[in-house]
Amino acid sequence: MSLSREKPKLIVVLGPTASGKTEIALEIAGRTGACIIGADSVQVYRYFDIGSAKPTLEQRRTVPHYLIDIVNPDEDFNAGTYMRLALDQISRLVEDGRKIVVVGGTFLYVKALLYGLLEGVEVDREFRSRLAKERDTKGVTSLHERLRSVDPVSAGRINPNDYVRIERALEIYHTTGERMSDHHQRHSFSEQRFNALKVGLLGKRERLRRAIDERVDAMIDRGWVEEVETIRAKGYGSGLKPMKSIGYRRINEFLDGQFDFKTTVEKIKTETKRFSKRQSTWLRADEDIEWFESERGNGPILEACSEFLG
């Protein structure tokens, strides 16, 4: 990717599930004439429309969207792939003088886009599974203390509740025997590639929980179960990566007779709320986010974005 010496401007819309990211991103794009770059690990897959809350075809016709519907369900896709594709797409848009809004619920993708990734360090699924069990029994802060014992520099940079970054730092040390802080020093990933305005959507917890319940019910009414049946009928099995994402995993289990319908829906709602809470924890650790209260309406967000883009 080739970008100018002056860092390109990006608006990045962040918030937990059901906080209204897609809607405000569309409003920002409509106000400023921007394009939208998706940053969602399920929306990249074709056919996974309802359960991923993918923008509708009408919305995509109104505002140009990128990095949505770009791979088949059985194709491998990860943060590194996303980063490379997103950088290439943004480079072309910048050359064309287009304004850009990044939006999506996969914050690792956003982090990779803004700061880069450590290449060459493989994901160790077994090690991550062990870390997750320790997190569930002892809490995230116990893992942060473990990190502090092997890599105090990284521990000092990472919020004690930021499980995703703690996990990666411990994994790098476990896999390579080298501290992540040393990797960072060599690769210089500490500085953002872009001049980014991070827009964070705040909302009261109970309001968000109700929004999740309503959202899941609406997805079911729109045919989420039938969508999964159609995907399976195309020959894509339940063991594929996107089939294991929140909601899709439970619907596959329902279709396989493991749960009744009511239990399935309740499990989806409960797990989505837990995921939303983890997202909120992750976001609160980012000191660069400019937070906006959803109860105040979208006016302040639109004003800030218009001023930022000039």
What pLDDT score was predicted for residue 120?
60
Pick the closest to residue 22 from 196, 218, 166, 199 (CA basis): 199
Side-chain half-sphere exposure of 15, counting CA atoms within 13 A: 24
**What is the pLDDT of the chain when averaged over all its residues?**
91
What pLDDT score was predicted for residue 310?
84
Euclidean distance between CA atoms 146 and 284, whole angstroms: 22
Q: Which amino acid is at 39?
A: A
Q: How many CB atoms lie within 10 A of CB 123?
A: 11
What pLDDT score was predicted for residue 202?
82
Task: Give domain limits for the chain.
Answer: 9-118+195-204+288-309, 125-187, 206-277
Q: What are 302's two structure tokens?
A: 């639109």
Domains 125-187 and 206-277 share a fold: no
Helix (H) or strand (E) holding 65: strand 65-66
Express each pLDDT in 156-189 by its tens digit: 988 888 898 899 899 988 887 888 888 766 654 4
Q: Which amino acid is at 288?
A: D
Tell me the mean pLDDT in the region 143-149.
Answer: 95
DSSP 8-state code for residue 236: -
Euclidean distance between CA atoms 109 and 117, whole angstroms: 10
Euclidean distance between CA atoms 194 and 261, whole angstroms: 46
Helix (H) or strand (E) holding 42: none
Contacts of 24 (CB under 8 A, 6+ apart): 13, 199, 201, 298, 301
Class of domain 9-118+195-204+288-309 (CATH, top level): alpha beta
Contact call for residues 3 and 191 (beta carbons, < 8 A): no
What pLDDT score was predicted for residue 184?
67
Tell me the mean pLDDT in the region 186-213.
Answer: 84
Class of domain 125-187 (CATH, top level): mainly alpha
- Specify the CATH number of the domain 206-277: 1.10.287.890
Q: What is the edge-to-edge ordering of all strands in the sheet holding 100-103?
A: 65-66, 35-38, 100-103, 9-14, 195-202, 290-293
Express each pLDDT in 34-86 by its tens digit: 999 999 999 999 999 999 999 999 999 999 999 999 999 999 888 888 999 99
Q: Is the pLDDT of residue 118 over 90?
A: no
- What separation in angstroms does the CA of 156 have from each of 11, 42, 132, 286? 28, 32, 21, 14
